Structure 1
Amino acid sequence: MKTSLYALFSMLFLLIPNLPMAQDAGSVGKRIFRAGAATSNITPEIGTSINGNMQNVIIKSVHDDTHARCIVLDDGQTRLAIVVSDLCMVSREVLDKAKHRAHEMTKIPVENMMMSATHTHTGGAACSVFNSDPDKKYLEFLASRIADAVIRANHNLAPARIGWGVGNEPSQVFNRRWKMKPGTPMMNPFGKQDQVKMNPGIGNPNNLEPSGPVDPGLPIISIQTPDGRPVAMLANYSLHYVGGTGAGEVSADYYGMFANRMQELLNAGGQNIPFVAIMSNGTSGNINNVNFGGKAPARYQTYEKMRAVADTIAAEAYKVYQKIEYKDWISLASRQKEISLRVRKPDANELARAEDIVSRAKQPIMTSMEEIYARETIFMKDYPNDVSLILQAFRIGDLAITAVPCEMFVEIGLDLKKKSPFKPTFSISLANGYNGYLPTPEHHQLGGYETWRARSSYLEVDASVKISKSLFELLGQLKSAQK
């Protein structure tokens, strides 16, 4: 009889899911925080297109492989996945496919997945923009491989601890939109006069002042094993990209070099489960790495400047890393909202002008800026009147991350950081799709490249106001629900 009862209780024990398996009474009910990280190679085929140029560039070689880098976090009730891919931009259609495949394999809700692009200008083409179009096979490959990054990171979930801090590195960010001296001609491709100029040139006698601020902040999230071995790091910096590659060469730009340098600084090479460092793109729509108000810098060899930038930012991240206080457990939460925004479509006169310009161009390649934007205007004719965008907010303990599918202007990110109920808060651009530049209404009034209507900039003038309002709503919901 005793043997039968023992067998019965053993069977019941096995049938009860998630019953704590404790070695002592004191550990029963203890909350376990877990994390996993992984990468997935997304290097495009030689002979396909690179995104990031006005003209189509065909890949001739690969300087360094491009990757989708992923971190999965689990507080015991909620799992979040953050993926950053070495692409200039990537369409919502590709990312939706990746999310659904990853969900099927991991059961992580799709709304708990934040997928973005770094904005390297030398990655495989994943969107049609200007004169470059993606290879259909590459888009299928991307969806699968980005999903694989989530699946692999989820597979690597293990007990972990987490912490964060914020650094400051002002030496690598400069506002690229400049106000010019009165009378300076600044005719745009639509035959109208702008009030600002992007990348006006170092030493230009007509340079007056930058048209906006910068964000030198460098927030990092660090994940370790319970005994202190590095697992992953997520960093965020508001720098557009660096560039300076060989012609037709694929490169992850400074984002990939930052990841490699952090592995070196943390002595995290050769681990059984590889360490993963990730640099995400902040609000860099009007920010780059050139000081147009300074002196001409020394000439750089190919890849030399991006390595210098990566090393500088990694050094600051390492300073922050050394002071981080880790937590054995934190709670996680996410909120997502889909909003609809109007599209700035051409009127009949603008369309007629564009068609005339294209008809007189040497087909099929548009070479002048006027021709390129005339072609873009014709494409915009067939766009819907409204488009849907996914907006997200993740809470990681007392830290928050917002995500927008645009190249966000720095003013938007600074405002979110200042007014967010969470400290720190940072934003990831180019997330969950691609809907072009996101200037503020004030910058739309100034004009300039980032406002010129095209597949790279087409949302309504008040888009940033509506997006910010929705993000604050999501942050407010996370705050109200925080335990």
Structure 2
Amino acid sequence: MLTLTAKSSCQAELRVGAAVVDVNPTQMPVIVNGGMLSRTATQIRTTVNARAIVLADDKTRIAIVVVDSCMMPRLLLDDAKQLAASKTAIPAENMLISATHTHTAPSSFGALGTPADLNYLPVIRQRIVEAIVAAESNLQPARVGWGSTSVPEMTALRRWVRRPDKLDVDPFGEYTVRANMHAATKMDMVTGPTGPEDPELSMIAFETLDGAPIAILANYSMHYFGDQPISADYFGLFSESIAKHAGERFQTKHPDADPPTSIVGVLSHGCSGDIWRRDYWTYNGKDDQTIEGYAQAMAGHAAKVYDGIEYQSDADLRMVQSELPMRYRVPNESRLKWAQQIVAEMGDRQPKDKTEVYAREAVLLHEMQETKILVQALRIGDIAIATTPNETYALTGLKLKHQSPLNKTMVIELANGADGYIPPPEQHPLGGYNTWPARSAGLEVSAESKIVAALLTGLEDVTGKPRRPFVQSVGKKTQAILDHQPVLYWRCDAMDATVCRDQSGNQNDGKIDPGVLFFLPGPKAADAENQFCVGDEVNRCMHFADGRVSANIDRSGNQWSAVVSVWNGMPLDARSMAGWFLSRDGGTDSAASKWHAGVAGTEGEPGVLAIKIGDNETVYGKTPLERWQWYQIAIVCDGEKLRVHINGQTSPEIETEITAAANTTGTETWSLGGNTEMNWEGRLDEFALFDKAFTPTEINNLLQ
């Protein structure tokens, strides 16, 4: 590898070196990781590499290595770090080694039905060490810069909520699957994605003091594209493309300079446990995109980011790591007995189907019981990096980015180990592949919360600054609600919580039941100047999958108004009511004190609003609400009559009598997500309750 030499005699505080070493297998056939069952490959389609960047200042040296591998176990990486530390001036604890998560690389880790290839382990270990040593030997004075952009069209949620009447069976023979990957291939079977996407493409670039590119470390949350083994997938193609662009741009700006020939481009894996490239909202059953086209398009976005980066040379370095004890979700006695019987019948052969895979995994988890995982936080000037050894959901990455002490924060997953999926705790009750106990998804339910907490503490340590509490901004629509002095106001913007925070100032926080998901995109007004949030910030909401948010409210008077944004995920022909989205219980044993607002299914006109008061007949509106569309609903009670308005229209959609029993005052329970018979299946947001009856004109002004 040729080394770029700075022509300036100045000594920069920051020094950077980079190198690429192939990690191709030396023996064929080789076992390939990334599938449910074991498979082998006999040819190399694209080279798999270890791409290393070494950073140094007067006090600290750090190595960042990204390897074209599906996942690599901690024991292998600890050995590689110790060996590299013995050959360099870099402490083992200052080494970050991550996998790209290509599903077409040689297997270095036993997971599901695939064992590690024992012949390959010494090869990948040695090549990682060689990459670190080579990168350190190339250290030279350097500058660093940061850039990022949003690329939403190239990533999407792959894990969707299934309808409550369409549960799927798990590998243990039980109907527990309420959410799963790729469930949206049949859209009538699902109610919506289980979480948010993270479309940020971020980049840390390094150049010499003369502006010659050294290395580019990019990060994006997209699981993998898919290729034939052995292949680095789109990660390798992207890395080569962005490096080529950097070289061409330098040559254009400096036509008389020697052309740089050793630029290292790197694409690290962002938080992609629930992410893939297919957008099921627009999917038509065809997949015409090629891996080359995808990688080139992504590199095109990255090139624009790279061209706008500004650099600094006074970036100091800091790095810390934490070891966290974790328990595995081990099988109970009956499941262990079931698993042991299947494994005994298998003998020494590999699993041949999903049932055998998870039976063996159950036995292995029982034998392992617990483990220790490694998380890291590091700082390069005003840039931060956090790492997890897991397949991490996009929401987890957003938690870290939004709360990091530094705005410029990158999250790299599958680093320093291969400890499986860590769904946020609220995802576990929904089941599905990402939660089935195995080495690939076996950590305790609280693992994600513990990892986020440890990483935020680590980021505080390396930056010397406190974390930033996430607070959703107040746009004009939000301020209008606050100006009317609500009794309670739930913005439903939590990233994780046991309560829905009341932002009215009255401390009427709502208790969140299981079956509520967080931080999905919420309603957005057509008028760009009249939004719930400021600027381009995404308004956040909750998705309800048989859960509720409820609170007991002490309220006087028989006049009130309630506004809420609703988004129905259920097909209108699935059941008699698509769902009840708001309920009020007067606190007495009488059914007359209860009323519910919802959207009709097969009863009444499908999709219209519905109001049921006590034991009375359900009253229906006239305007069908489309599935998967946001509507702002206002319900107004002036004592004896109840009016319902859609999207601020002055003409009520429903107008009906309300009994005194259904409008008692005192302590009353308000519930988002409806009643226990047909809870809401979809999103809800921006719920506010007022102690006054709004006029139609006031509703129009508030909701338009």
Same fold by TM-score greater than 0.5 = yes
Question: CA contact under 8 A between 2:247 and 2:260: conserved in structure 1?
Answer: no
Give, in angstroms, the shift of residue 114 of structure 1: 0.5
User: 1:177-208 CA deviation, whole Å, 9 max, x = no partner?
Assistant: 11122311311112231211211253443132
Could you say which residue in structure 2 is the equivalent of 1:223? 206
Question: CA contact under 8 A between 1:441 and 1:464: conserved in structure 2?
Answer: yes
Structure of greater Rg = 2
Pairing of 1:42-441 with structure 2 (within 5 A) = 42-44=23-25, 45-192=27-174, 193-243=176-226, 245-246=227-228, 249-267=229-247, 274-296=262-284, 298-300=286-288, 305-358=290-343, 364-383=349-368, 385-441=369-425
Residue 77 of structure 1 aligns to a residue whose secondary structure is coil
Could you say which residue in structure 2 is the equivalent of 1:34? 15
Provide the identity percentage. Answer: 37
User: 1:136-176 CA deviation, whole Å, 9 max, x = no partner?
Assistant: 23111111110111100000001111111111111111111
User: 1:191-244 CA deviation, whole Å, 9 max, x = no partner?
Assistant: 23121121125344313211111000011011112122111100000111110x
CA distance in 1, matches of 2:239, 2:158: 26
User: 1:415-463 CA deviation, whole Å, 9 max, x = no partner?
Assistant: 1100110111121101111111111110111111000001111110001
CA distance in 2, matches of 1:361, 1:36: 50
Question: CA contact under 8 A between 1:62 and 1:251: conserved in structure 2?
Answer: yes
Poorly superposed stretches of 4+, deviation over 4 Å: 268-273, 358-363
CA distance in 2, matches of 1:434, 1:288: 19
Query: Which structure exhibits the higher relative contact order, with contacts defined as CA atoms closer than 8 Å and separated by 6 or more residues?
Result: 1
User: 1:55-92 CA deviation, whole Å, 9 max, x = no partner?
Assistant: 11111211011000011111222111100000000011
Residue 123 of structure 1 aligns to a residue whose secondary structure is coil
Comparing 162-171 with 176-185, greater Cα deviation is found at 176-185
Query: Structure 1 or 2: larger strand share?
Result: 2
Give, in angstroms, the shift of residue 272 of structure 1: 6.1
Residue 355 of structure 1 aligns to a residue whose secondary structure is helix
Give, in angstroms, the shift of residue 123 of structure 1: 0.6
CA, structure 1 residues 299+411, in 2 after alignment: closer, same or farther (shift >3 Å)?
A: closer
CA, structure 1 residues 233+296, in 2 after alignment: closer, same or farther (shift >3 Å)?
A: same
Could you say which residue in structure 2 is the equivalent of 1:479? 463
Give, in angstroms, the shift of residue 315 of structure 1: 1.1
Residue 161 of structure 1 aligns to a residue whose secondary structure is strand
Question: CA contact under 8 A between 2:167 and 2:178: conserved in structure 1?
Answer: no
Could you say which residue in structure 1 is the equivalent of 2:583? none
State the one-letter code of the partner of 2:284. Answer: A
Q: 2:436 aligns with which of 414, 438, 452?
A: 452
CA distance in 2, matches of 1:58, 1:435: 23
Question: CA contact under 8 A between 2:160 and 2:182: conserved in structure 1?
Answer: yes
Give, in angstroms, the shift of residue 359 of structure 1: 5.2
Could you say which residue in structure 2 is the equivalent of 1:10? none
Q: Are 1:462 and 2:446 matched, yes or no?
A: yes
Residue 415 of structure 2 aligns to a residue whose secondary structure is coil
Question: CA contact under 8 A between 2:247 and 2:259: conserved in structure 1?
Answer: no
Question: CA contact under 8 A between 2:37 and 2:113: conserved in structure 1?
Answer: yes
CA, structure 1 residues 216+146, in 2 after alignment: closer, same or farther (shift >3 Å)?
A: same
Query: What 5-or-longer segments of structure 2 have no aligned partner?
Result: 1-7, 252-257, 467-704
Give, in angstroms, the shift of residue 365 of structure 1: 4.1
Question: CA contact under 8 A between 2:13 and 2:315: conserved in structure 1?
Answer: no
CA distance in 2, matches of 1:132, 1:370: 14
Query: Structure 1 or 2: larger helix share?
Result: 1
CA distance in 2, matches of 1:294, 1:364: 42
CA, structure 1 residues 307+63, in 2 after alignment: closer, same or farther (shift >3 Å)?
A: same
CA distance in 1, matches of 2:276, 2:167: 23
CA, structure 1 residues 398+203, in 2 after alignment: closer, same or farther (shift >3 Å)?
A: same
Comparing 463-472 with 184-193, greater Cα deviation is found at 184-193
Question: CA contact under 8 A between 2:163 and 2:178: conserved in structure 1?
Answer: no
Query: What 5-or-longer segments of structure 1 have no aligned partner?
Result: 1-22
CA, structure 1 residues 362+77, in 2 after alignment: closer, same or farther (shift >3 Å)?
A: closer
State the one-letter code of the partner of 1:78. Answer: T
Could you say which residue in structure 2 is the equivalent of 1:16? none
CA distance in 2, matches of 1:68, 1:115: 9
CA distance in 2, matches of 1:260, 1:99: 26
CA distance in 1, matches of 2:332, 2:41: 37
CA distance in 1, matches of 2:349, 2:63: 42
Question: CA contact under 8 A between 1:203 and 1:295: conserved in structure 2?
Answer: no
State the one-letter code of the partner of 2:146. Answer: W
Instruction: State the TM-score, normalized to the length of structure 1.
Output: 0.89
Question: CA contact under 8 A between 1:31 and 1:76: conserved in structure 2?
Answer: no
State the one-letter code of the partner of 1:364. Answer: R
User: 1:249-304 CA deviation, whole Å, 9 max, x = no partner?
Assistant: 2000010010111123223599565110000001111111112232326444xxx6
